[in-house]
Amino acid sequence: MTKFLWSISIVAGTIYTALFFILSIPRLLYPYELEWMEGAIADHAVRIVEGKQLYVRPTIEFVNWLYQPLYYYASAAAMQIFGVGFFAGRFISFCSTLLSTALIFFIVRKITTERFLLPFLAASLFLASYGITGYTHDIGRIDALLVFLLLASAACLVFRQSYLSVICSSIFISLAFFTKQPAVFYILPCTVWLFLKDKKLFSVFVLSTAILIGTGFLILTAQNGQWYEYYVFAVPRGKAAHGGFGCLSTLKAFPDFIFSFWSISSFMILAFFFLEKKNGLKTFFLSQNGLLILIFLTSVIQLAFQFGDHASYKNIALPFVSFSSMLFPIALKKNREKFSGIASQVFLLTLPIQFVALIYNPLHDPLVVINGTDRLAGEKFYSMLHELPGNVYIPAHGFLPQLAGKHEFANDLAMGDVFTVDDTTAIAVKKEYYQSLALHYFSFIITDDNLYRTMYHMDDSITGYTFCKRINNSSVPFISRIGDYSATPCKLFIPKTSE
């Protein structure tokens, strides 16, 4: 029975790993937009490539996202090699995912002393989460890089506790912070663990992290003036203050994710903690497993906190998934060592069940399986877009006109985030936006026909413009993803003529 359960788990892990590469490589090479955030993030990288200031006063031309800048710089560096396009950002994410997979493998190998089996299953569990995290392992978004940096920071402490390893851990966690703000949560478990472990190493970690983050903040402020702080800190605060954050929504993380898709893993890790703490909490938390448990609990808090954001999506679960994938096989081994017979078999049975819980159908969601029809649809849409004379505004897809040789304009959701702040800056950009519509600054506006509600969701609601016709309406139109849904830019608006 034991061999059978191990065999089932190995087969499942192999299938998930192979499926990830089979799906991911064609998506990596797809020359058009896979997901609407890709274009908005690519806009930032292009600014860096062109030598422009990254964070600027919001205008109808460009509005920054409320994210830290490291991923933009990494994508810009890739664009210097591969050229301007979607591949650069996807390349950073794909490589980050491969590095994260390798770190999970070697961390589990270090702690369990298993050479291959458990490390491989841990890595394959991470890749098996491809579907439930919204296929964000390989697209031009920030999360994959964030996860790699968090894992790298933890790995430095797991493999060695020395001044050099602590400084390296500090560097990685600081880079993670400058990738996405929620990384700040993960400074605490490392700090607590080092405080319990070694006060000198604790002091080095705290001091180096403070210096690195402080220096980074000063450099970015010097480069961008007030606008770095405005987008990265003021806009998120403004959104939360105006109803963008719900305290009760944080609780949804538990039934919707932690105790649904990952319920087997979560219960196994909790059992591991309660079984190990009998030997003394301090002794346990001083161990490498104790560090991983602290980080895992932090990932639960981070996930719940981000669930409070009403605009959050499955990608926010990627850190939780990475540490769950790593801890589950470790917990499985430790729990089985304490039991024998049927109880040990029951623990082992949880592994194939966890793999089953992560099953996803790649044919169910748009643009997961890329084929020649998708490429042809993208080619036709870009050709049509290129032929339209004058300025073309596609509110949800700022990067598309640029790749078709058109002028760049701000993403509507990024602009909407600024509007929620409702300060003098927001009032000024809102006035500029409505003036641009009234003065017919755009020759055409193209909006999406989808379940996602932009500020242009009604057919004839754009000030100064009227609905003209539907475009991109073939049996297989050009689409991209917005969350779990397809976004089809197909409603063409033209300036209203005076009567």
Per-residue pLDDT of the chain (499 residues; tens, 9 = 90+): 788 888 899 999 999 999 999 999 999 999 999 998 898 899 999 999 999 999 999 999 999 999 999 999 999 999 999 999 999 999 999 999 999 999 999 999 999 999 999 999 999 999 999 999 999 999 999 999 999 999 999 999 999 989 999 999 999 999 999 999 999 999 999 999 999 999 999 999 999 999 999 999 999 999 999 999 999 999 988 888 777 778 888 888 898 889 988 999 999 999 888 888 777 777 888 888 999 999 999 999 999 998 888 778 899 999 999 999 999 999 999 888 888 778 778 888 899 999 999 999 999 889 999 999 999 999 999 999 999 999 999 988 878 888 888 888 998 888 888 988 888 999 999 999 999 999 999 999 998 876 444 444 444 578 889 988 899 988 889 999 888 888 899 899 999 886 5
32, 370 contact by CB (below 8 A): no
The pLDDT of residue 116 = 94
Q: Give the whole-angstrom CA distance, residue 319 versus residue 330.
A: 17
